[in-house]
Structure 1
Amino acid sequence: TNILSPVCPGKTSFDITSFLKKLEVPTCGEEEVVITNVTIRPGREQRTDKLAKEEHNSALNLNKINTQWRTILRELKTRELHKDIEILSQTFERVVDCKDSVIKVCILSGVVAHAFYPSTREAEAGGFLSSRPA
């Protein structure tokens, strides 16, 4: 593809038969070379196109890598959050159980106090009246 640049520098098209004559390549008598004008892009344009294509592919690959990296980080963060939620759920259950037992103790104390209230009242009233000087 680029073998012509030393022979025809800067040319964008050439006659292949004249090229073969310059190289002194023997032709096969009856056969003729049909290709006469082959367009060759100069090397600079090819390099520019190749560079643009590489930059485009590089951007696409970078995007793919970033997407995969975000997916991996998202999965890790999800696992961490699930663990945190499990720990917080267990802590919440423990606090609820503790408060439930405190409420049960308070209710039991209230029931016991209510049951003994009349007898304590009588004892206090009787003791108060009997200890008064006459």
Structure 2
Amino acid sequence: MLSQDFNTDWRFRAKTAEDNQPGVWRDVTLPHDAMLDAPRRADSPAGTGNAFFDGGVYEYARTLHVPAAWQGKTVELEFEAVYRNATVCVNGHQAACHAYGYSPFAVDITDLLVYGDGPEGDNEITVTADNSATPNTRWYSGGGIIRP
């Protein structure tokens, strides 16, 4: 089995609470706690349990180059934790959903990939974490792809 570090070269944006529109993309390295960039509010529904953060919807994207030599092999993405309600897509197609934010999960993406030794082998991986329904925990959970 070949294992490849997949924690670098991610782009991130949060949807704004006011109009539910996506923000500006910026570069991040995983793990990444998206809530730390959000404002705190004294009247946040989650209160002290979530450090006065409201939560939100967080989007991540990364390109995965898949060489032609990988054709016929199984390709999986492994996530240690995405808080919470994660949706993983490959090239615009939904590959998996995972509701629980503290548990690891793997996604077989083999059938959604395009293969090639040049730019034709580039695949767009997106992960959306929806931590907007607060309160949802008794302690600060963070939000986004919170573990490597």
Q: TM-score range by the shorter chain?
A: under 0.3
Greater length-normalized contact order (CA 8 Å, ≥ 6 residues apart): 2
TM-score (norm 2): 0.19
Looking at CA atoms only, which structure, 1 or 2, has the larger radius of gyration?
1
TM-score (norm 1): 0.20
